[in-house]
Amino acid sequence: MAVAGTTTDAAVVVFLITVLSISVSAAAAAGTTTFGCYESIVSFGDSLTDTGNILSVAVHKAMPPTGKPPFGRTFFNRPTGRYCDGRLVIDFIAQSLGLPLLKPYFSDGGNEEERRRSLATGVNFAVAGATVLDSEFYDKIGYHNPVTNNSLTIQLDWFRSFLTRLPDGRKYVERSLVVVGEIGVNDYNYLLQQGTTLDQLQTLVPQVVSSIGSTIQELIKHGVATMLVPGHPPIGCWPIYLTLHNSGTDKYDPRTGCLDWLNDFSKYHNSLLLEELEKIRDLHPQINIIYADYYNAAMRMYLSPDKFGFGSRVLRGCCGGGGPYNYNTSAGCGDEGVESCDNPGSYASWDGVHYTEAGNRVIAQGILEGPYTNPRIATICPDESELSLQPRGHYTLFMVIIFSLAANLCIQNVCVKFHHRRKSL
């Protein structure tokens, strides 16, 4: 009986070690080297990041189209408030870290305590249509935001309020990956659509970037240790602008068909943002500030559309009201009579402004697995000596259990006996 028991225990050890090896190998193969690094994600931004806040009456001026089909058709099989057919870049980031998808700050249902618990692994303050600069600024210069009065400043206020309701808010943010953006595109979008010239727009960039920098410094004061700060994507490849500025072949990149001058503007914003981040790094060398190069991560789709399965459709929206780029200002996705394509996965653009889940996946892969972060996101992790005693998500808890069971059996000499038996075979 003793021999049988030992053999059984040894088999258990083999099983546990096999599971452990497979789990580690699978994580490495998937590129999930940051798996378990963070206990939560805190996110700020606009419609490229909003996971549902825009559906709250507290933030929108009119009910957005994202509350009805065909939005959400690919992954969720229902509208969630995301400006997409499925998941956003922030969703892929959360999944790569072994965390649940981010809930919007304005989550529905439950009392305050239930709501607080539901946001324990992450909270999203991003709002579709949000700008960096406050609406009062744009009102003074004669422009308006048609979607929301929300700004990065307001999202920061929500963040402060959220922290006051946590037992240890500082500890929460120290162990979180904080994503600041993408944000700022709307500061330029609304002005471009309301007649601002490129020269006028360029004078605004330093102010937008400086405000992003001030927000980052404020977050550091609240204990944030690691931040991911995305730059702007190549907006000159978006169907909305290819439709609104459809003139003169000399304005297009012959390799991609994108508008050169608008992409140059995105690169100008990103160059100033990089300079701002370097200044903050110099002031706070102990803080991990990761720049996410959305521009070049996304540009791969336009330079090699066949490689990613988009082909000649790469500059067309999946859901739109027709035209060369399937974008129509008077018939947008979600409007009555506007149809979406059969296969969103073969399009980079969902509605002419936002990416499909397939497009978001390409960007996320470039950020998480490719060279499009500085420093590489996979090399940044909170201090392991501080986190080693704390289970970091379901995956880490699972691994702790596996190690514990194997160690317990080894303490009972099972490992030694099994090893001796293996050598005698």
Q: What positions carry a catalytic annotation? A: 47, 351, 354
Say how far apart CA 123 and CA 125 lie, in whole Å.
7
Q: At what angle do helices 2-29 and 414-424 cross, to 10 degrees?
A: 90
Among 269, 180, 272, smallest CA distance to 227 is for: 180
- Cβ pair 326, 55 in contact under 8 A: no
Q: At what angle do helices 152-164 and 205-221 cross, to 10 degrees?
A: 10
- Provide the 10 A C-beta neighbour count for residue 50: 32
Q: Which residue shows structure tokens 């392991």?
A: 384
- Burial string for 93-104 (b: 16+ CB within 10 Å, else e) reads bbbbbbbbbbbb
Who's near 9: CB < 8 A, 6+ residues apart? 409, 412, 414, 418
Count helices and strands in the chain by DSSP H and E runs:
16, 6
